[in-house]
Structure 1
Amino acid sequence: MELMAQGSSLRAACREVGVSRSAGQRWKNGARVRHADGTVTFVPPLEPLAVRQISPRFLSEEERVRIADLASRGLGPTAIGRELGRSASTISRELRRNLHPTGQYRPFHAHSAAAVRRRRERPTKIMEKAELFEFVVDKLKVRWSPQQISRALRREFPADPSMWLATESIYQALYRHQTGLLRRVKTVDAVSPLRTARDHRRGHTRVVRAGRRFAQPMLSIHDRGFEPTDRSAAGHWEGDLIVGPHHRSAIATLVERQTRYVKLVHLPAQDSATLRSRLVTALDGLPASLRQTLTWDQGTEMARHLEITATLGTKVYFCDAASPWQRGSNENTNGLLRQYFPKSTDLTVHTPHDLARVEHELNGRPRHILGDRPPTELFSALLTSATVQALQ
């Protein structure tokens, strides 16, 4: 903790003290522990004040270890205080206040308990203002992100800084269970309104998954004529499936690259014929200029891509294997959709009406990348006039 406070990375700090990175991650962020009976508990992170260098007027961890040793030999507060150079009342108070629940004096437990009492937490801004609290709760209930809420507060109350919140303040209010914010916005299908569904902070991990190869002939993304980061033109879509358990249910997701407008396609079956039919239905009502290309991964559900191109005139391009970043907008959107359709849940229970509701809600959210405008506004402008430049 001291090394990280001085600017070291977690990896460098763990290497310096000789522990694994995973151990350091647990100390820093806490961890979930699954017990034999199936229950899951959360082990909190280390109390920073317990490991921080403190004033000599407070008892140190080393002194508490000596107190435990001397007390176990039968010495009283006066004799222990004489050995440590502390007053007898200090030792007596220490032995009385920091006992372990077993009735014994354990120095490491005592040091942690003393640090917790020293914390003196102040009430947070979000808990002091009822109007601010309710605003945040209302937005979290419709799955706005903390960043979106932070920006919305500045738009709604431009002349009242007391109603502004930093993004990190909202995250901290969610992760601190004692604030009650998480309890107010918890839903039946998720313990947290965040897209990650987390109720505690966790370190980032990088997971590489191999993609499925697709049989030729097909158009590669490198033939598309523009880079994955180029969003200057409208009418280019990215698509994928979000899949239920054992690949027995799926929903097709489409994202327009420039406006980030989302279309959800109900799939009664997960085969190439069904996907072709439903994609044609979903895109056929759009002007030709707004369905120029579709970029997909190399999944076999897109085996009839030539038929899609023949029907719609929309060219289908395929990403490289294990390269989801080439469909960045779609990957990000699928992460947002997991708030509504959690992993390992049966997707067949969601009707087309349910998908339309989610689609409407997601397209109505303000997006930072769009200048805090919702995708619906920009996509509607494209529909009404082919000459409108949506992001200018």
Structure 2
Amino acid sequence: MPKYAPNKMPTAVKKRYFELLREGYKGAAAARVVGVSASCGSNWFIEAGSMIVPDSGPVSPRFLTQNDRIAIADGLHAKQTVKEIAVAIGKSFQTVYREIKRNAKPDGSYHPWWAHNQALLRRHRPKEPKIRGSEPLRALVREKLTEKWSPQQIARYLAREYTHDSAMRACPETIYRALFAGLLGREAKLRTGRIRRRKQRRGVPTLNKIKNMTLIHERPVEVNDRKIPGHWEGDLIIGRGQGSAIGTLVERTTRYVHLIHLPHGWKAPQVRNALITQTAHIPPQLR
């Protein structure tokens, strides 16, 4: 039987060889099907880490597939940049960069089947939720939540107090998940009173909370040119501990600053009334 150089066969042949192995073929049988020698297939198998991890089925489009990893390897072999590879496979360059850094072989080379095996091995690692498996951590998190601490504050506290004990540390998302899953008991809740996660609507723009509000990028041209006086920009400065506040108005052309006294609070109605009364002396053409 003729010998084949293991690294000079087309990528499609290697891909089919590993597909057959995942289907249950023996190495020699898979090699015969794709038309290479058994030793050639054995070399490919060794290159891939001497293991074949079965795919768990369809995954989310946000994860890289075997084909994506083959395209990354081909792009690296062709001396393409990470951004060029990312455009070719329809992913962000940060995703491709992390993939190469995380799943490269110990010698620094990137092998698509090795990388795919490593990704599948990490995916197949069922773990018990950290807070569920640790009563001391669960009790401490529950105590801090009842004291009106936020998950972010609790996570920072744990990282500071238990620097050398990883079992007593948890990130904010871990705390949120444990809370919403009911692992912390009925008495534990966020200081806002919520015990359920808010619905996330990714990609859906948030509607304006003020009806008929004019956005900054929709301002007339003369406002941006600053050629005509009478256009003001307002802001609110809140003092330490939210104990006081003051409003500011800046005229865009002259840069004149007018401070708004807020003795009765700084909610929307109070600020509105203060603006009306304290700007009444400004001539109409400048308002």
Q: What range is the shorter-chain TM-score in?
A: 0.3 to 0.5
TM-score, scaled to structure 2: 0.35
Question: Which of structures 1 and 2 has the bigger CA Rg?
Answer: 2
TM-score, scaled to structure 1: 0.27
